[in-house]
Amino acid sequence: MLSLAKLARSLSRRLKFISRPLGKLVYEFYENWLYTQVSEGPIPKHIAIIPDGNRRWARNQGLDANVGHEVGYERLEEVLSWLWDLGVKVVTVYAMSYENCVRRPEEEKAHLFNLMKRGVDKFINERILERYKVRVRFLGRLDIIPENLRAEIRKIEELSSQYGEKILNVALCYGGRQEIIDAVRVLMRDVKEGKVGVDEISEDLFIKYLPLASDLPTLDLSEPDLVIRTSGELRISNFLLWHIAYSELYFCDVFWPEFRRIDLLRAIRAYQKRQRRFGA
C-alpha cells in the first residue's frame, strides 16, 4: 500500500503532466519516439556541422548580430552534448571561415574571438573535457587570431591530449582550399628534400598532410559520415573540401539558434535511410 508521502509525490507528478500544454506534450512524445528510432540504427562516427544563420536570426528578432552569435554559441554547447550522448566519436564544427576572419568588421571579429575564448575557458574550468573524455583540436590559419586566444587554444589542446574517446575539431579561420594548398606546400618540400618520391604520392599519402587527419586513431575518421548545414543555404562554403568527397549532406531550414534536438535526430534518421555507395 502506498504511503501518504509516496501517494502525494505520485499525484504531484500526474498533475504536472496534465498541466503541461498539449503542444509541449506532443513535442516531447515525438522527440522521445524519434530518439528511440535513431538510437536503434547506425550512428555516424563523424559528424561535421556548418552552424549557419546566427546573424539572420538576430535581425529577424530585431537584435544586434552579436546577440545571435551569443545564442548560437549556447546552442552549440547543447548540440555537442546531444551528439556525445548519442555516441558520435568525432565532431567537426565550422566556427569561422578564413573569409570571415579577413573580411568581417573588426568589432564583430573581436566579439567572436572573445566568445570563443570564453567557450574554451568554460570547457576547462567546468571540467567538460573530463566529463566527456573529449580531445579538442583547432584547425585553420591560427596565426591571424589574437595571441590571447591562441594561448587558450594551446592550453586546451594540451590538457585534452590525454583523451581520445571523443574528438572535437574546431575549424577556425579555416578554408578547405587553403588547407589543401598548405598541404601541397609541405608535400613539395618533402619531395624536394628527398623524403618522398614523386611516384609515392597517392590519396592515402596526401591525406596525412592534412591537419584534420593528423593524430586520429584511423584515417577514415577524418572523413565525415554526415555534414549538417543550417539556415537553408545549399552550399558547402569552402568547408572540408577534401574530406567530404563521399559524405552525406543534410540541409536544414532552421537558423542555428533555433536548431532543436529533433532537427538533429531527423538529420541522423535521414542519414540512416540513405545507401552510401562511395562512388560505386
Which residues belong to the active site? 52, 100
Between the alpha carbon of residue 143 and those of residues 155, 168, 188, the distances in Å are 16, 20, 22
The conformation of residue 208, written as its DSSP 8-state character, comes to: G
DSSP 3-state of 279 = coil
> Could you tell me which residues are beta bridge partners of residue 139?
171
H-helix or E-strand spanning residue 135: strand 134-139
Rounded to an integer, what distance in angstroms lies between the CA atom of residue 174 and that of residue 232?
Answer: 21
Secondary structure of 36-76 as H, E, C letters:
HHHHCCCCCCEEEEECCCHHHHHHHCCCCHHHHHHHHHHHH
57, three cell numbers: 536570426
Rounded to an integer, what distance in angstroms lies between the CA atom of residue 57 and that of residue 46?
Answer: 27
Question: Residue 275 burial by CB count (10 A; 0-12/13-18/19+): exposed, middle or buried?
Answer: exposed
